Chains A and B, each alone.
Chain A
Amino acid sequence: MATTTKEISIGDLGARSSEAEPTLQGETMALNVGPSHPTTHGVLRLKMELDGDIVKSCDPVLGYLHRGDEKIAENMTYNQFVPYTDRLDYLAPLANNVAYAMAVEKLAALEVPDRCQAIRVLCCELARVSSHLLGIGVYGMDAGAWTVFMYTFTEREKLYTLFEELTGARFTTSYTRIGGVARDIPDGWLGRVLEFCKGVLPVLDQVDKLLTRNRIFMDRTVGVGVISKEDAISYGLTGPNLRACGVDLDLRKDKPYLGYDQFDFEVPVGTTGDCYDRYMMRAEEVRQSVSIIRQCIDQFPEGSYYAEEAKKIFAPQKAKVLTSMEELIQNFMIVTEGPQIPAGEVYFEAENPKGALGFFIVSKGGGVPYRLKIRGPSFCSLSILEKLIPGHYMTDITVILGSLDFVMGECDR
């Protein structure tokens, strides 16, 4: 039977699919999913070639959300870039802020006090809970389970109220500074976090009942989108996506930062690396995060929320700026010239909800980074699509995309 490729939608898929093998009907169909489509979770376009219901090849196209973050970073001071880190993984801005601040602090050889570290641990873990709650909810929705989304979104809304109390913003928080955090925790906030922790566990149980043994959910996820251990490592997956494949790598355990080694928590590790395992990873990680939050609040240290010795890096407190000349000058210098960071190269990675978020900074000294490279975990999660998707049914694509839990903001440079 003669092989032809029929172009149905707009796009230039033809170039890559010209060597199509003879198929059942003798012809394949080009299909674009995205760039704007509910299941692509952002502006991602998948150029696919279908043989009936089965995907033969897939070419993911990024770049629709290209904002030039790195270029911007190289033209502004270290402090000015903090709000831009919010926009990377905009579902966990608090964790991004911390990762960025810690990369710069490592370059400046700056130690932050215990209380600041504890606040940052809370930030990271609450961000993880928030991100995974949305991840699970939207994943359920991709598989056709609407109710889960309602449950998890309600909980996430409560978290946003907590974020608002802490940072003043619900969504883009910009909370950390180089050398500390923007302000101390408000009165009674820790109590309200504990209350949230108490409330979120029954909701997780509810989600568990709705999804984990659900026949339809299992049929759609078990054995779908299987990533082997070797592939996961080779493609540079990190975070829950990597652990679902059976690789025990969690930077909080293996490269402890922020005093994570003091906390007692488990790292869930999957076996098959299919969509179901990736869901299980996230569900379990939320529980572990809740446990970390409780331990952290149990032994919440007193002290300062910023490094007081960091005179040339952390801006002085507002009250002092308004009353003391020296502090005013210092504040002026930090605002206009940026925090003074010594020359050098540094790479720091933090275990973010989506995987390992890395910042590579080259400094020539002064207040502006010479080169700042962001290693977004979602970028790597997406690069495996090319290999992962072919051979699956078209309907499985939504579940596979949902299970990888990516955010397009991180695929941007």
Chain B
Amino acid sequence: MAKSEFAQLKERFEYLTERESADHLAVNCPADQLLELCTALRDELGYDLLLDVTAVDWDAQSPRFTGIYHLLSTTKHAYLRIAVDCADDIQPSLPSLCGLYAAANWHERETYDLMGIHYEGHPDLRRILMWDEYPYHPLRKDFPLAGIETPFPAEDVAEATHARVLPAPMAGGPFVSSGDGPMSQTEPRARDESWSEQKEKPV
């Protein structure tokens, strides 16, 4: 079933290659053909609903970032996943789909915020979840789970209240086993005394 669908797509867009997927059809597309592909998909093949834009960080591999798009056809009720590799590992960028799907606007802002992928042609590429001056992209694999301490966003407030942004107490906290070392020490319960009523929480 999926095979023939892919064959049909391949006939029209010869640059596509099939991508392994546990569910519906998935294709690899070169970044410079993405706009052309999506225009045709939306206008001629009925994939009119952009469900999701995201990216995967492959960490040490190259290409490091892969942009992922999920499309749904509201008439044919078929899903399609498009994967696009970013050529540049240091400053990854992809073409923006905002001109085709209005939904891309927020999804791309989110991916930019959390993954640091620059969407070229996006009308308003701001951060959406973190504050504007935040220096990191937290969903990248090299960003630690416990967070990195950064200055409080509002300087005047921080000065008056002595407020600062602390890392979330996850890794090294009382509820998460770290997995490195003997079980007796990495099990959450064993480390629960990291802070208690007697012993103050480490800052």
A contact patch SS: mixed
Given the contacts A347-B81, A413-B139, A360 and B70 also touching, CB distance less than 8 Å: yes
Are A360 and B21 closer than 8 Å at their CB atoms? no
**B172 contacts chain A at the CB level, 8 A cutoff:** no
Number of residues on chain A facing chain B (CB within 8 A): 45
Are B103 and A383 closer than 8 Å at their CB atoms? yes
Given the contacts A347-B70, A358-B52, A336 and B183 also touching, CB distance less than 8 Å: yes
Are A236 and B51 closer than 8 Å at their CB atoms? yes
**C-alpha spacing A370/B57, complex, angstroms:** 9
**A37 contacts chain B at the CB level, 8 A cutoff:** no
| Closest Cβ neighbor of B75 among chain A residues | A249
**A267 contacts chain B at the CB level, 8 A cutoff:** no
B contact patch SS: loop
Are A63 and B145 closer than 8 Å at their CB atoms? no
Q: Of the listed stretches A86-94, A192-200, A271-279, A373-381, name the one at the interface; the rest are far from the partner chain.
A: A373-381
Chain A min CB distance to B71 (Å): 10
Number of residues on chain B facing chain A (CB within 8 A): 44
Q: Of the listed stretches B5-13, B84-92, B128-136, name the one at the interface; the rest are far from the partner chain.
A: B128-136
Are B106 and A379 closer than 8 Å at their CB atoms? yes
**C-alpha spacing A107/B23, complex, angstroms:** 8
Are B139 and A70 closer than 8 Å at their CB atoms? yes
Chain B stretch 46-67: residues in CB contact (< 8 A) with chain A: 48-52, 54, 56-57
**A255 contacts chain B at the CB level, 8 A cutoff:** yes
**B40 contacts chain A at the CB level, 8 A cutoff:** no
**A247 contacts chain B at the CB level, 8 A cutoff:** yes
**A285 contacts chain B at the CB level, 8 A cutoff:** no
Q: Mark B158-202, 1 if CB is under 8 A from A, else 0.
A: 000000000010110000110000010000000000000000000
Are B74 and A249 closer than 8 Å at their CB atoms? yes
**A183 contacts chain B at the CB level, 8 A cutoff:** no
A–B pairs, 15, beta carbons within 8 Å: A63-B128, A71-B145, A76-B176, A106-B23, A236-B51, A238-B51, A345-B20, A347-B23, A358-B51, A360-B70, A373-B52, A375-B51, A382-B106, A383-B105, A383-B106
Q: Which residues of A contact B (CB under 8 A)?
A: 62-63, 66, 68, 70-72, 75-76, 106-107, 109, 231, 233-236, 238, 247, 249, 254-255, 336, 344-349, 356, 358, 360, 362, 370-371, 373, 375, 379-380, 382-384, 387, 412-413
Give 9 closest A-B pairs by Cβ, nearest first. Answer: A236-B103, A63-B129, A383-B106, A254-B77, A346-B22, A234-B102, A344-B22, A375-B52, A373-B54
